[in-house]
């Protein structure tokens, strides 16, 4: 089981970039939903464990201000947390999306918290401030409506404490957000963002999503059939972004292309949860396919600065019929090595990744 406290080590720069892109698509969802409302799924409430993990992630990626300009003291400690295996597989990406969404609105959310004078009214320690701002983002995203959780939901004391605090300040928080919108003459919190950021969001909403098929676990046709059963039509190219379609990339035979606004629906299908379909930028897959096309059956492969264990797994899966050995530089600790092996096991390629060694 991946320890959420070490998640920042496991999810490296490339994963952060990909999840940031997905978060951008989430933030610009209002743009695509106007084109096809039926495409979006209803947003469900986050469980407590997602908030805690998102807070720990946000703690590592938040904007660091000079000492004389610090608005909120976030402390230095991460929150203790543990996931069950099911939670790890289901909620990991949600935690990263929530953290990146919060990061995008950090300045605005901090202003709202300061405007309500919430910190002078509580004795909550600084180490919970990351949790406060993450939960505030989701709270305003829900229009300050209460969470709806199943009766058997696992609760975390810190989350319950922060949730009670935010609920007690509900009216003041909503008023502070309204004042912020009036000040910026903005229809929503999204429109308070700088124009350059909003243009990036709009562009992100039109970019297709790429995912590669893990042919070590499933065949191409099985994936096509599964997607068809879920209402997706296979086409030659993604010409109309509103249609529920997918296409095979012209350069990489196992890479599929989807319209971006089906992201939430796709994240909830078993193909993704079972690591049979992996979201990853096409540039990573193209690199792997290029290497595969250039090597001989018995050529060894040295991978450096890979940026993602998914890339290593993809390389090993594509060369599973070769006698090649794959050497990977950059493993910094036994813990990270263990995390990689766990991921490879889930992806069904643990026997294909023949050798990892410290650089």
DSSP letter string over 163-230? HHHHHHTHHHHHHHHHHHHHHTT-SSGGGGS-HHHHHHHHHHHHSPEEEEE-TTTS-HHHHHHHHHHT
Residue 233, C-beta contacts closer than 8 angstroms, at least 6 positions apart: 243, 244, 245, 246
Residues at the annotated binding site for S-adenosyl-L-methionine? 358
Q: How many domains does the structure of the chain reveal?
A: 3
Per-residue pLDDT at 199: 85
Q: Is the pLDDT assigned to residue 24 strictly greater than 60?
A: no
Asked whether residue 326 falls in the same domain as residue 258, the answer is no
Asked whether residue 302 falls in the same domain as residue 348, the answer is yes
**Residues, the chain:** 359
* Residue appearing with tokens 């889930």: 346
pLDDT digit string, tens, across residues 52-95: 999 999 999 998 888 888 889 898 888 887 665 445 556 777 89
69: containing domain: 4-201
Asked whether residue 174 falls in the same domain as residue 227, the answer is no
The torsion angle over the Cα atoms of residues 143, 146, 150 and 156, rounded to 10 degrees, is 110
Q: Alpha-carbon distance 111 to 337, whole Å?
A: 41
Q: Is the pLDDT assigned to residue 111 strictly greater than 50?
A: yes
Q: Alpha-carbon distance 29 to 176, whole Å?
A: 24
Asked whether residue 98 falls in the same domain as residue 42, the answer is yes
- Closest of 277, 287, 268 to residue 246, by C-alpha: 277
Q: Alpha-carbon distance 55 to 133, whole Å?
A: 8
Asked whether residue 338 falls in the same domain as residue 270, the answer is no
CA angle in degrees (0–180, nearest 5) for 89-87-223: 30
Strand partners, 323: none
Asked whether residue 232 falls in the same domain as residue 122, the answer is no
Residues at the annotated binding site? 358
Q: Tell me the average pLDDT across 28-33.
A: 40
> CATH number of the domain that 221 lies in?
3.30.70.1170
Residue 82, C-beta contacts closer than 8 angstroms, at least 6 positions apart: 1, 3, 4
* pLDDT class of 336 with cuts at 50, 70, 90: low
Average pLDDT of the residues of the chain: 82
> How much is the pTM?
0.65
Which H or E element spans position 277? strand 277-279
Backbone angles phi, psi at 278, to 5 degrees: -120, 120
Per-residue pLDDT at 161: 95
Asked whether residue 152 falls in the same domain as residue 249, the answer is no
Q: Is the pLDDT assigned to residue 51 strictly greater than 90?
A: yes
Q: Which of 201, 219, 240 is the last residue of a domain?
A: 201
Share of the chain above pLDDT 70, in %: 80
């Amino acid at each position: 089981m991946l320890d959420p406290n070490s998640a920042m080590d496991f999810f490296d720069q490339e994963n952060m970039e990909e999840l940031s892109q997905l978060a951008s698509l989430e933030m610009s969802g209002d743009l695509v939903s106007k084109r096809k409302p039926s495409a979006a799924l209803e947003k469900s409430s986050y469980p407590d464990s997602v908030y805690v993990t998102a807070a720990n992630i946000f703690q590592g990626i938040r904007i660091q201000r000079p000492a004389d300009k610090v608005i909120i003291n976030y402390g230095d400690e991460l929150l203790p947390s543990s996931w069950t295996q099911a939670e790890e597989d289901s909620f990991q990406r949600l935690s990263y999306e929530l953290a990146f969404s919060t990061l995008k609105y950090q300045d605005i959310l901090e202003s709202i918290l300061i405007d309500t004078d919430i910190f002078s009214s509580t004795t909550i320690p600084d180490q919970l401030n990351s949790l406060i701002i993450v939960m505030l983002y989701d709270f305003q995203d829900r229009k300050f409506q209460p969470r709806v959780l199943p009766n058997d939901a696992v609760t975390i004391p810190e989350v319950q404490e922060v949730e009670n605090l935010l609920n007690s300040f509900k009216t003041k928080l909503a008023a502070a957000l309204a004042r912020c919108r009036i000040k910026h003459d903005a229809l929503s919190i999204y429109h308070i963002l700088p124009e350059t950021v909003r243009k990036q969001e709009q562009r992100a909403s039109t970019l297709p999503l790429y995912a590669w098929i893990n042919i070590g676990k499933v065949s191409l046709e099985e994936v096509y059939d599964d997607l068809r059963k879920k209402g997706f039509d296979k086409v030659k190219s993604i010409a109309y972004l509103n249609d529920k379609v997918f296409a095979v990339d012209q350069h990489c035979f196992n890479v599929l292309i989807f319209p971006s606004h089906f992201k939430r629906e796709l994240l909830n299908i078993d193909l993704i949860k079972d690591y049979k379909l992996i979201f990853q930028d096409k540039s990573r897959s193209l690199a792997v396919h290029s290497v595969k096309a250039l090597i001989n059956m018995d050529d060894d492969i040295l991978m450096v600065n890979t940026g993602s264990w998914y890339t290593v797994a993809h390389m090993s899966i594509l060369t599973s019929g070769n006698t090649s050995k794959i050497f990977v530089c950059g493993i910094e600790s036994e813990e990270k090595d263990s995390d990689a092996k766990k991921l490879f096991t889930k992806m069904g390629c643990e026997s294909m990744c023949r050798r990892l060694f410290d650089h």
